[in-house]
Each structure stands twice: as structure tokens, then as C-alpha cells.
Structure 1
């Protein structure tokens, strides 16, 4: 008796590609157009459920940033893809490589635009680094392989749209060979020429009072080491770029001089003492509210090192090197003579603990965290009104020690913290959020609880959009147009999602919880939401 040979399907071949590229953790909120792909999911593919597509993409983004490798996302057709657009925009701005498979209706009746048929081209605008709908089912595995390379090279979401019937089509082995054959098949990198390095070294050598600006693009172990070496040879201050999504330099180093302002008059004032400014891993200079005038005082020379072409082309620098930051700075440092300048060290001061009966403020909470937090911890931030205090009091002391949403939109921190811990399980992770911010992705807490992701979520609860209140005041408004939401209880919501939670309202209780939780955070397998009642600060400085 003979048995007919098994005919391999596109679905089976795609799973082979996913294994080859180490895309074996799948972040998703599934819909009917994806059920065929998910039915009988192989045992070696881990499924991570998020209860909203924004949280799905946020968790995947955190994982990708923690590992440095693309993460896999599966989204439903129009509704799911549309819900995820803001998170995909944040992933692009944060340089998080994602392979995103988006479901589509059955290819055989798409011309009749059936129920759930998606008009998906352009739905996410220019935020995907690549989007493709394969011409035939047999092209799907190769498209997924290419998406990995596009995501890795473009450092953002690469999207493949797959009609639901494609998964069951007979595979074509010849077509699969057309794609790159593995993660190392495409190699490249931007290396600065010797002439370009010599020109930059000449500029720095001629400087009497240089400073360095560290950006998110320098947030690697090699990047930190190289920039420390250069800073110590120049013996000059190092600032962090305005609104940086990651730290590009150890912020507890004696040469760290704080975060640059995000408005031009204040930026000019901070940079005025320097005749030469070199920005590494960022554009020169990212700002927030508009103000007229140049970024620097006349006569200040500006140079930039970045591997991002868009950052390079929008930087008003005298010399811009489009090259990998860590390698460039490592090669640059020996070309610059060591010059002792002994700048004054930057020593932020922590606030005094509140007196008995005095309300807690965000600075009290952040100072308590700073005293107790492991230097290797990752702090994921989404607290707009308290961000200056966080930058001042809670320095990043290791690469990936600080992570925020580069796009500025809310809803990133909570799921991203889960993804970071998933991707780097040996590192303690703390998310610091405002109560208003937490609501944009509060459903992510279910995923943290269900999958045993031991993140500490510190929610600074002031019952209002404090940053918006302050901005309204700047515009001369006597009172904001929106109400406070003091009835909100994030700890109650967390418990309803199955996540352990506590609420504290005084300094003694705060310290008690932190002393109990933080020493266990590296090994913790249960999340905790710590809702801290704080009084909104009366001012905010960007």
C-alpha cells in the first residue's frame, strides 16, 4: 500500500521562514481573517495575546528594542491595522524593527469587496518602512523573509498583507529561494571615510570650548563606551538631546550636563558657552514648541554623527557624517588630543522628603526610586508633566536604561515595558506613567498578569492631564476646557484586569512598598501596579 506524498502549504513554508529568522514569538490580537494561519499553531511558536492592537505593537516594540532583533506581529485587517497605526508610528520613530503580517479577505472574491475586505494600501501612511501584498500565495514566505531584512535595515515596521486563503495554497519551493536565505544574508553598514573623520577631528581640535550631545541612536554598549572615551579626552560636558527616547551616554558620569531644552531661546542659552557642538546619534536639534531664531548663537560650529539619513539631512550642521555612531566615535577619539578642561560636574539635588501631612509630589516618588533602583534597570517613561523631574532625579546608568515614546503619543510605555521584560528577562523593568497616560493602554496589564511578566508599574496619579493644564495656562486660559478625573482608580482597573495593584498616599507607605518590591524585581514573575497619589506640580518646564 502506498501513501500519497504530503503537499506542503504556504502556511507550513511560512512557519519554516519564521523559525529560520527566529520569529517564534507572535504578538497578536486575532481576527477572523487570521484564524486559518493560527489554527493548529505549531508548539514551537509562542502566542502572546494583547487585548488591543496598540498594546500588541507596543509589546512587540519593547521586545525588539530589548533584543535588537525584529519581533513578529499579526494584525487583523482594516480594524486591527487601523487601531495599530499610532503604535506603528511610535515603533518607526523609536527604531523598533517589526515584521507585521496583516490579514485580508479571501483573495478569490476581493474584486467584489466582501465584508472585512480591507483597503490597506496607505492605511498606515509612511510609517511602515516597507509594505507589500504578494502577487500570488506562493510569494508569501519570501515576502515575510524580505520583511525581516527590511525591518532590520530600516529599523521600523515592515508590513506584509496576506489574504486569508493564501495560507492553504500549495507551496512553490522555487519561489521561496528568491528571498534572502537567512538573517545574515544581507550585510551592510555605514562607515565614515578617513577624510571625513580627519575633518571632524580638525574641527574638534580647533575648539576652545566644545560640548557633546548624546542621542538615542548612540544607545548601545559600544556607543556609550566610545562616547565616554571621546568626552574624557576632550574633558567636555555631554548633554542629552531634547526629548530623547533613549539615553546615549551614562547620565551618572561626572561629565553629564543634563538634558537640552526643547525650545530655541533656552537651547541657545545652554549652548552659548560652547564654540563647537558635536551631536552623536541624533539630529541637531529636536525641538517642541516653536520659537523664532537659530538653534545656536552666531559663531557656534555644529557637527553631527548619525546613521539615520533623515536625521542627517534635516540637521543644520557644518559637518554631518552619515555613519554608524559607535564605530565612528571609536575611530575619532584617538585623532583628538587630550585636553584637560575640568568642567564643573553636574550634581542634581534630590528633594527633601515631605513633612508629615504634606502631599506627595512626583519628585518625591522619583527620588525614592532612584535611591533604590538597580543600576541595570530599564525605566520606561510616559509621564509628560513629570518628565523633567524624572530626567533630573533618575539617571540612565546602563544602555537601554531609559526608554520613552519618540513619537510623543501616549499608550507606549505600559505595553513596551512588558515587551522589554519579555525580551530581556534578566533586567529589572519599571514603567513610570501618569494616570492619564496609563488609560491609553491599560488593557496591557492583562497580558502582563497572564504571562507572568514581572514589571513594576508606578502610576503617578494626580487625577488630571497636568501637562495639558500647564500648557493651557501658558496660553492665558484661566481654567482648562477639560475636567479633572479624580474619580479614576487605576489600581481598581488593574485588579479588574487580573493584575495585582496597591495604592499609596503617603511617603512612609511608598517607601515600604518600594523596599519590599525593588530588591525582588530582577527575579519577579508577577507584575505590580503601584498607584501613588501625588499633587500636580504648579509648573512645567520643557
Structure 2
């Protein structure tokens, strides 16, 4: 007898959902026992790690990843990671187990009130009315995840999988196509704004992180001879950050943001919100002399943008036509943009600083490395010192919650094993999903985890200092991240001092793309403040500015 389970497997194959990330329970056993050989199962030891790894996989492949969660406990544990997946626009198909349909009315043990548990973060949630509706619901979830670029949930009672597949309804379309054409009138309207501007600038964001859009934006910036800024809190790079026209990362504090944008009479955001903030401050995002416009493929992003003109369009095609349509100013002098100086090496016997570790990494990382970041107190230094040189070169949690970097790095490396993957993580951040290291070790995932260990929540200490108060939370210098990694089967070494650090990096990084086992380096660093503001003074009247977020913007 052909079962609902058999039909569901066919739907999963149709949509390329053949790698299953899970931490299952009893309500999922009927689905997983004797899993077909063409379906791969990846176990993680916590649901945050499950969803984090699937998020990395989905972002690396630009295709939905498959997740399985165990009723209330599993979905509840995963909600924070699902929120991050939604903000990072990662397409996920999430199957959530439920108690047996035949006695749900009595609310048996492990029955879940699941429909609203993840709040508004799913792009779709479906509870099939009968077992035979499950395969079609999975197909609809796959389409919803692709189109909405977020997690789509299907809640499946445990007895549904064994039900006969007779009388299945017409499922979701096998293929769903979206138009990718460009409104030429909208291109002309944006080009006219740029042509009328005496000093335009671009702000790029995560939505522009693909090879075609990078090429188009590079051509556009070079024709305009204009600087390109990265959005505040950018979860991905939208432009090659080693390009001469890259100006740096915009601050998210409004006063500093207005100062950064003051030299420009038009700012066009591409693939970025306008302009994301954290702590509230009175006043506009830009001064009276600066007009704002946005081009995005996210309708919600366009609708909430405080701009003069918002255009919703497929970015690769739109940016290509825009680059060809603007007035060519490439004969004008190239603006001179400052670059931050590398920090001085530590003196003999002096503890390493986070910036010194990042500078050493920057000198040695292959250009095609995927760097996954979760080090709040050192993120400004990372932005200043470690440029993203290829698409998917930088990734962090758009939503801001901790526990993303370790599992995401694992999922990325599994999805694109040809690229080196390095996660740079604070020791405090690492503890939120330290369990994910077991998955890396068990499945032979050759990612490198660099943990900047200062034994405290340094960014919170900085916040307390700026507020003029004494923090009530203690340091946790007793915690050995290296020891925790080893207990989970992940090779790990603790590094102290510059000579030991350089020896490790010089040995590891040249062969990083070929690693078949993970490695964690716990690098002892002193708790300190980010680098002093650097001057990025260009020709003309541009002021010297620190383009990096202040520590309070990273909490």
C-alpha cells in the first residue's frame, strides 16, 4: 500500500529537499524509521543548532532546506532561530511533529498547541485537515519558502504518515515561476534621480549579495564615480569591500548617520532597508539636503521605507539596466577614500587584542572564504579590517539573536564544501549553541571556529560603562570553550600570544578548503574597546568619520 509517507518523500525529492536537519522525538519516529537511502539525515543536539545549520545551508545554496522539529518543545526551542532565518531571508521547509490525530481532542501527553507558537515569523503555516493533505501542504510550503524567503511550517500528526495515499488531492504545482522582467519606466525614473544628483552615493545591503548584482553595482558605481556604503547591521555584504569605491559601514546612530550622509544630495539604497536603526534617537535619518530612494526585491521593505521613491524589482536585472542607463561620469576623478590602518602588533608579553587577531586573519584568509560573524564587541573591528571580497563572503544574524554563527557555519560548509568557512565568534556567543560542534565533528564538517575569548560579555560591559553604571553580571573566566568543544568530539586548541596565533593561522588557512574535520581555536584576548575611529576623508569636503557602529549599536 502506498502511504502518505511515500507520497511525501516524492514531494520532497521533487523540490530537492533531500537533506533533513533534525532533533527528533517520538512524534517523528514514524517518518524517520528506515529512511530511504537517497535522503540524508543530519542530527543536531539542540533545535537552535538544527535551524541554524539549515539556515546556513539554505543561504549558501539559495534553495530551501528541510527541517524537522518535535512538537511543542522542539518548535519552542527553535523559535529564536526561526526568527533569525526569517530576518536573514533563508527559505526553510519546517515539518513539526504532532500527537496522534485520533486522540488530539483529549490533549494527550506531547500534544502541542502549535499554530501560534512561532508567532508571525513563518511565511506560511499549514495544519492539514486530513492525512492525505500532507504531501500537498509540503509542496505549498516549498513554494512559500522560496517566494517568501523564510520558514514555512507544516504541522503533521504522527499517525498521518502511515495512512493510505488513496484519494490524494491535486498537490501544489511541481514548478512555480515568477516573472523576472524589469519595468523600464522605473529604471528610467531611478536613473533620472541619479543623473540629477551632483554627489550621489549608494548604500548596499544583504539583498544585493549575489554575483550578478555585485557586477552590476560595481559597474554602476564606477559610471557614477560615487562611494558605496554598506547598510548598518548588514547581515551580508552587498558590494566587494576591497573595491576602491567602497566607503565602509554606515553607523546606525542617527546623529552619526546624518553626518555620514551629509556630503550627498542623493542616497540610493539597493537591497537594504532605509536605514536600519537600533537605539532610538530624535531627528531624521538624513539631513534636508539629502534625498533618499530605495530599490529592493522585498515589498515590505519598500512599503516601510521613509523615502521619496521606492521600487520593487528583481535586483540583478534592475541593477544591470540601471548601470547601463545612467549618465557616464567615469572620466571624473576617483574619490579618495581612507582605509583603516592595521593595529600595531602586541608588544612582548602583551595580551592579544581582538583587532590584532582579526588583522592577522585578514592578511591570510583566501578571497573565497565565507566568514560567519557573531562577536558583538569586536564586530566594528571585523568590519574595518576583514573585507568581504566575493558574494557570500560575510554572513551574520540579521535578527541580532545569539546562537547563529556556529551552526550556520556548519550548514554553509556542508552546502558548499568547495569554499573555506571560518566562524569568528565571541566566547559568550559561542555558548548559545556550543552543542552544534558535535554535528560538525560527527559529519566531518571542515569549518574553522575562531573563538575570541575574553571571559565575559564584553559588549554588555561597554554598554554599562557608557550608561555610567556598574554591571550586575559577573565574568565567566572559568569557562573553557576549548574544553567544551573537546567534550563534544570537536578538535580544539587554546591559543595565547601572537607567535602561537600566527603559527596556527599559517598552518591552517592555506589548506582550509580541503579540511574534512572541524577545528576550534580559542584565542585568548584582552577585553577592550574597538579600534579608535578611523578617518575616511575623501577628496572635497567629506568629513573624517568613523563608519563603523558604536558598541551600543551591537547589543
- Which among 381, 384, 388 is matched to residue 392 of structure 1? 384
- Which among 348, 363, 368 is matched to residue 355 of structure 2? 363
Task: Report the CA distance between 1:475 and its aligned residue.
Answer: 1.4
- Which among 303, 319, 323 is matched to residue 329 of structure 1? 319
- Which among 518, 523, 529 is matched to residue 520 of structure 2? 529
- Which among 260, 279, 298 is matched to residue 308 of structure 1? 298
Equivalent in the alignment of 1:195: 185
Question: How far apart, CA to CA, are the structure 1 residues paired with 2:166 and 2:269?
Answer: 49
Post-superposition CA distance 1:368-424 (Å, at most 9, x none): 000100000000000000000000000000000000000000000000000000011
- Which among 421, 425, 433 is matched to residue 433 of structure 1? 425
Which residues of 2 match residues 244-283 of structure 1 at below 5 A?
244-283=234-273
- Do the aligned residues in 2 keep the contact of 1:236 with 1:341 (CA within 8 Å)? no
* In the alignment, structure 1 residue 180 sits paired with structure 2 residue 173: yes
Task: Report the CA distance between 1:116 and its aligned residue.
Answer: 0.4
Structure 2 residue runs without a partner (length 5+): 531-549
- Do the aligned residues in 2 keep the contact of 1:192 with 1:322 (CA within 8 Å)? no
Task: Report the CA distance between 1:500 and its aligned residue.
Answer: 0.2
Equivalent in the alignment of 1:442: 434
Cα 1:191–1:265 change in 2 (3 A) is: farther
Structure 1 residue runs without a partner (length 5+): 1-6
Equivalent in the alignment of 1:135: 129
Equivalent in the alignment of 1:124: 118
Task: Report the CA distance between 1:346 and its aligned residue.
Answer: 3.5
Task: Report the CA distance between 1:228 and its aligned residue.
Answer: 0.2
TM-score, normalisation: structure 1:
0.97
* In the alignment, structure 1 residue 484 sits paired with structure 2 residue 475: yes
* In the alignment, structure 1 residue 419 sits paired with structure 2 residue 411: yes
* In the alignment, structure 1 residue 83 sits paired with structure 2 residue 73: no
Task: Report the CA distance between 1:345 and its aligned residue.
Answer: 2.8
Question: How far apart, CA to CA, are the structure 1 residues paired with 2:397 and 2:179?
Answer: 26
Question: How far apart, CA to CA, are the structure 2 residues paired with 1:345 and 1:463?
Answer: 36
Question: How far apart, CA to CA, are the structure 2 residues paired with 1:173 and 1:323?
Answer: 40
Question: How far apart, CA to CA, are the structure 1 residues paired with 2:168 and 2:525?
Answer: 62
- Do the aligned residues in 1 keep the contact of 2:135 with 2:171 (CA within 8 Å)? no
* In the alignment, structure 1 residue 381 sits paired with structure 2 residue 373: yes
**3-state secondary structure, aligned to 1:212:** strand
Cα 1:191–1:367 change in 2 (3 A) is: same
Equivalent in the alignment of 1:511: 502
- Do the aligned residues in 1 keep the contact of 2:262 with 2:289 (CA within 8 Å)? no
Question: How far apart, CA to CA, are the structure 2 residues paired with 1:194 and 1:158?
Answer: 33
TM-score, normalisation: structure 2:
0.95
- Do the aligned residues in 2 keep the contact of 1:382 with 1:433 (CA within 8 Å)? yes
Equivalent in the alignment of 2:344: 352
Task: Report the CA distance between 1:519 and its aligned residue.
Answer: 1.0
Task: Report the CA distance between 1:178 and its aligned residue.
Answer: 2.9
- Do the aligned residues in 2 keep the contact of 1:255 with 1:346 (CA within 8 Å)? no
**3-state secondary structure, aligned to 2:41:** strand
- Do the aligned residues in 1 keep the contact of 2:139 with 2:171 (CA within 8 Å)? no
Equivalent in the alignment of 2:56: 62
- Do the aligned residues in 1 keep the contact of 2:274 with 2:306 (CA within 8 Å)? yes
Equivalent in the alignment of 1:26: 20
Task: Report the CA distance between 1:341 and its aligned residue.
Answer: 4.3
- Do the aligned residues in 1 keep the contact of 2:403 with 2:429 (CA within 8 Å)? yes
Equivalent in the alignment of 2:546: none
Task: Report the CA distance between 1:190 and its aligned residue.
Answer: 5.7
Equivalent in the alignment of 1:45: 39
- Structure 1 residue ranges, 4+ long, deviating more than 6 angstroms after superposition: none
Please report the RMSD computed on the Cα atoms of aligned residues, expressed in angstroms.
1.0
Question: How far apart, CA to CA, are the structure 2 residues paired with 1:292 and 1:520?
Answer: 50
Task: Report the CA distance between 1:538 and its aligned residue.
Answer: 3.3
Which residues of 2 match residues 91-110 of structure 1 at below 5 A?
91-110=85-104
**3-state secondary structure, aligned to 1:502:** strand
Question: How far apart, CA to CA, are the structure 2 residues paired with 1:303 and 1:337?
Answer: 18
- Do the aligned residues in 2 keep the contact of 1:104 with 1:117 (CA within 8 Å)? yes
Task: Report the CA distance between 1:309 and its aligned residue.
Answer: 1.3
Task: Report the CA distance between 1:191 and its aligned residue.
Answer: 4.2
Post-superposition CA distance 1:146-196 (Å, at most 9, x none): 110000000000000000000000003541x33212xxx211146442221
Post-superposition CA distance 1:83-131 (Å, at most 9, x none): 0000000000000000000000000000000000000011000000000
Task: Report the CA distance between 1:279 and its aligned residue.
Answer: 0.3
Which residues of 2 match residues 155-234 of structure 1 at below 5 A?
155-172=149-166, 174-175=168-169, 177-181=170-174, 185-189=175-179, 191-234=181-224
- Do the aligned residues in 2 keep the contact of 1:234 with 1:341 (CA within 8 Å)? no
Aligned residue pairs total 531
Question: How far apart, CA to CA, are the structure 1 residues paired with 2:132 and 2:314?
Answer: 37
**3-state secondary structure, aligned to 2:42:** strand
**3-state secondary structure, aligned to 1:167:** helix
- Do the aligned residues in 2 keep the contact of 1:254 with 1:346 (CA within 8 Å)? no
- Do the aligned residues in 2 keep the contact of 1:258 with 1:346 (CA within 8 Å)? no
Post-superposition CA distance 1:431-460 (Å, at most 9, x none): 000000000000000000000000000000
Post-superposition CA distance 1:47-91 (Å, at most 9, x none): 100000000000000000000100000000000000000000000
- Do the aligned residues in 2 keep the contact of 1:378 with 1:429 (CA within 8 Å)? yes
- Do the aligned residues in 2 keep the contact of 1:134 with 1:143 (CA within 8 Å)? yes
Equivalent in the alignment of 2:30: 36
